Structures are given as structure tokens and as C-alpha cells.
Amino acid sequence: MNGFDRQKIKAAYNNFAEHRERVEIEPWKFEERERFLALLNRENRISLLEIGAGTGRDSWYFQRQGLEVTSIDFSEEMVRLCKEKGLNAAIMDFTHLDFPRETFDAVYALNCLLHVPKAKLDEVLQRIRDVLRSGGVFFLGLYGGQDREGIWEHDSYEPKRFFSMYEDQAILAIVRRWFVVEDFHTVDMGPNKPHFQSMILRKF
């Protein structure tokens, strides 16, 4: 799988957890988050699972807005930072979501499933679908617009991380096997960079 090593990805995020805690959130990420919150509020969605919660800043935001948030990450250091914010957080891999079926009204996954090997993405999407309630909504955000899979040699993290990226129509074809696509748009990241793919998906 072109260099995929789960333990190296975990080590990279453990090593850079404190750095990520200090980095400012880009304005476009605030906009994506607020747009999803507005949808949850319109539909009276209460329970939210954040996958790949990282330092917990998004989970903390959603919790302060009145949602019942569960945060998971497979980095021990990231989960520690989540718990320091008072979040209900657990060490868990998105390939093994240890929750009963139809537990959550909503799922939020920002820039974490890009570490899933392409051969495993359908399996992960199915697991996410399983923990969503009927009609539940899923925010999926990825970097993409280009087709690649493997270690990013220019990565500033050590160990260098594995990324999977998809052209727009390719990722849409995959997610439509499991969800209804209610919104898809991209955010430009600048010249010669992948763009951000923003998706609102619904369990049909």
C-alpha cells in the first residue's frame, strides 16, 4: 500500500501534538465548521462523533455549542489534549469504531481519512455509516483534486506521513456507494497545491 504504516502515522501525530495545539486554525476551516453546525442546529441533531479529533479544538467548539460530543483519535497524545479540554475522548482507530449501530446523529471527519489506504476506504465509510442513525449527516473533509497515494516526501512531520488523495469525481463516486451527497464544494489552497474537498453526506 505504497508505504502505509499505521504505527508511523501514530508516531508522527504523537510527536507533533503540542505543535498542532499551538498552530492557529485557518479562517476557511472556521467557515466549514460553522456551516456544518448550522445544519445540525436546523435539524436538531445532538450527538456528534468526531473522528480523528486531533487536539480536540473542533470537538470543544461543538461541545460549547450544546452538542453531546464524543472524540476519538488513535494518537495517545492527541487524546490526552482532548481530555484536558474536558472532552469525552478515547483512543480509537477509525477502522474499528467501537460503538453500537446507529449511535450518533452526526459524524465529523476533517482531514483524517486522507490517511486511509485507498483499498480500505470503502470499509471505513461503511463503519461510519453503521454508527450513524438513519438520516444522520456526515461532514467529510479531505485534501485532493489530484490522484496520489503514498508517503509525502516533503512532509515536515517525522516520521513522514502517508496520504491518499482523489480527483473530485473519483471521491464522489466512492462516497455515493454509502451516502447521499448533499453538498460538495472545494476550497482553493493556492498554486500547485491540493485543494480542499468539503462534503455533506447523509445516510440514506
At 1 the pLDDT is 53
Residues of the chain where predicted confidence (pLDDT) is lower than 70? 1
167, burial (CB in 10 Å: exposed 0-12, middle 13-18, buried 19+): middle
At 57 the pLDDT is 97
At 109 the pLDDT is 98
pLDDT in tens, 151-191: 999 999 999 999 999 999 999 999 999 999 999 999 999 99
At 3 the pLDDT is 84
Q: Report yes or no: 148 and 163 within 8 Å, Cβ to Cβ.
A: yes
Q: For residue 123, what is its C-alpha cell? A: 470499509
The whole-model pTM stands at: 0.97
Does domain 6-202 fall into CATH 3.40.50.150? Answer: yes
SS (H, E, C) 1-28: CCCCCHHHHHHHHHHCHHHHHHCCCCHH
